[in-house]
Amino acid sequence: MMHFGNKSRECESELGINADMKNNNNKLLDTIKYNIDKLAASSSNILKLIKQYDKKMTVIMSIGYNSLQLLLTSSEFVETANNWLVNTRNNLKLLIRKNRELKLNIAGCIEKIHETQTKHAAICEEIEYWKFMCTLNQMDLYEVNSIFYDRQLWNESRQYDSYWNSEYAGTYSNDMYRIFHCIETNSIEDALDIVKSIETPDTEDLSTHATLIEKVAKRFYEEELYAHCLNLLNQVLKYRRTVYGDEHLIISTTLVCLALAYNGLGDHIKAPEVVYEALSIFVKQQINNPKMKSTLARQYYFIGQMFVKWSFPKEGVKLMQLAVNILNCLLPKEENQWLDIVIHISRICNDNGYPDDAMALSTEIVDYFNEKQHSLQSERRHTIYEIAFAHQLAMCSNQAINLSDYRMPEPVQMSLRHKNALQEIVIAFADRYEFKAAQIVESYLNTCSKSLLCLGDVSSPTYKHSLSVSSSPKANRLARTVQPKLINTLKGSEPEKKGITVYGGCRI
């Protein structure tokens, strides 16, 4: 029973357990059903969400596709725009470069226009200048009476050849004739052979022998056979130094001829050296003998002409100015030579583009004659160049000038040198394009010429009577510019002048 009871209790407990399990299973089934229902509801919601998401994804994909298409289109547009921008920049750079080139061309054209205008103005001035010069040349006053000739220097040694022997020279007259004939027929070697065949004499006739050889050298020089001329002159110099020594004046004249030969050969270094060696001898002789001042002045003048002919105008004018300074101290005795040299220097200045210096020198001569005519300062009148310059300033300056104080003077008697000085003043005015002043002086010269009051020689009795009021004009005269007081009054300061050099207190 116990066992049966236990069995029944076990069955009951099992049944209870089964019932619990069944209840639990039912609950679990209910829970599962609930969860399934809930899951089904969630699934339906998920399906709905999936459908919504699918729609959204479709929209998003459509949007993405459209965005991609837009991006591609935008990239193509950007690339196109970038290419267009690059091309535009390149075109802009090209246009900028062309614009700069165009500006440069325009600036060049403007510069050429200004240059053409300047040239046109200069040509107009040149035309006016040459037109004026043509009318000036019709006056037939501009005589070249101071042209440099080489023969003047070749003949200088004659006056110093104190040992000349005519008898000795006569014995070789036939040989000299043959030599000259050979040179004329271009038989140079034969001429040199004849010269070599002449025996060298003793010291007594050596000077004459040197002079004969010098004549042959001169003939070679005239035929432009400078090498043969140089060789013969070296022999002449050797013989004369043997006879006269190293510091005789004939040595100096021989050295000058030697310089001519060097210049003919184109040795422009040796030629001036030889010339200055010759000048040093002249200076030493002048110191020992003060009476030789006029001779020294003449040598300065001749050698100065040499330098001008050799295209050394500055050096030439320096030496010629030394001659002027020496002759200043010898006035009025050396009046003619002083006037000729000053006029010649003035002409050289005009020819070499120094019109201010030519003006200063020529006005010095005009003032010289004016002082001779009006010895007292109270009687001094304005010269024609001062009057002309005043009229020029009145035309070009804004300041008022009382031209009643600068009236045209009456025609006066003039020497040829006085006229030549005025002629240089006219040319100097024209070179500075001061045509009003040039025309006034030129018309005054015309008036004097037409009135037949101009005399050809300063030594004319009438001329001496009319201009010899003052017989001793001041010495050591210095070249000066045109009326500096007048310039200072009208312009405030004297304009800077173009000059060759400053020597001995004289600006030339």
d(CA 175, CA 268): 34
Half-sphere exposure (CA, 13 Å, Cβ side) for 391? 19
Residue 255: predicted pLDDT = 92
Three-state secondary structure readout of 442-456: HHHHHHHHHCCCECC
Cβ atoms < 10 Å from Cβ of 132: 18
- Do residues 481 and 489 make contact, with C-beta atoms less than 8 angstroms apart? no
Q: Phi-psi bin for 165: left (phi > 0), alpha (psi -120 to 50), beta?
A: beta
Which has more pLDDT, 373 or 218?
218
Residue 388, helix vs strand vs coil: helix
Of 324, 369, 358, 338, nearest to 497 by C-alpha is: 358
Cα three-residue angle 53-54-55, rounded to 5 degrees: 90
Of 41-55, 259-273, 276-290, 473-487, give the lowest mean pLDDT range. Answer: 473-487
Tell me which of 199 and 472 has the higher pLDDT. Answer: 199
Who wins on pLDDT, 82 or 373?
A: 82
Mean pLDDT of the chain: 76
Whether residue 20 is predicted with pLDDT greater than 80 in this model: the reply is no
Give the predicted TM-score (pTM) of the model: 0.55
How confident is the model over 33-38, as a mean pLDDT?
74
- How far apart are alpha carbons 12 and 393 in whole angstroms? 160
Out of 23-32, 133-142, 430-439, the most confident range is: 430-439
Residue 133 to residue 353: CA distance in whole angstroms:
16
Question: Lowest-pLDDT range, 65-79, 336-350, 475-489?
Answer: 475-489
The pLDDT score that the predictor gives to residue 233 is 92
Q: How confident is the model at residue 438 (pLDDT cuts 50, 70, 90)?
A: confident
What is residue 460's predicted lDDT score, i.e. its pLDDT? Answer: 35
Q: List the end-to-end C-alpha distance of the chain, in Å, as a whole number.
A: 177
Is the pLDDT at 168 greater than 50? The verdict is yes
**Burial of 447 by CB count in 10 Å (0-12 exposed, 13-18 middle, 19+ buried)?**
middle
pLDDT band at 408; cut points 50, 70, 90: confident
Look at residue 321 and give its three-state secondary structure.
helix
CB-based contacts of 151, cutoff 8 Å, min separation 6: 218
Bridge partners of 457, per DSSP, are none
The pLDDT assigned to 372 comes to: 79
Distance, in Å, from the CA atom of 293 to the CA atom of 169, rounded to the nearest integer, reads 32
Give the residue with greater pLDDT, 232 vs 313. 232
Helices (H), 310-381: 313-328, 335-351, 355-373
Average pLDDT over residues 171-183: 86
**Residue 355 predicted with pLDDT over 80:** yes
Local confidence band at 231 (pLDDT 50, 70, 90 cut-offs):
very high
- Average pLDDT, integer, range 374-391: 74
Mean pLDDT of 460-468: 31
At 317-353, the pLDDT tens digits run 888 888 888 888 877 777 888 888 888 888 888 888 8
Ordered alpha helix ranges (H), 185-225: 188-197, 203-222
**Which residue in the block uniquely carries the two structure tokens 């009145």?**
394
Q: Residue 148 pLDDT > 70, yes or no?
A: no
* Residue 452, pLDDT score: 54
* Structure confidence at residue 285 (pLDDT): 79
Q: Which amino acid is present at 302? A: F
Determine the pLDDT at residue 376: 54
pLDDT of 500 > 60? The answer is no
Indicate if the pLDDT at residue 11 is higher than 70: no
Average of per-residue pLDDT across 104-124: 85
Picking from 26-40, 73-87, 282-296, 456-470, which range would have the lowest pLDDT averaged per residue? 456-470
pLDDT at 6: 61
Given this model, what pLDDT does residue 134 score?
64
Taking the C-alpha atoms of residue 87 and residue 269, their distance in angstroms, rounded to an integer, is: 69
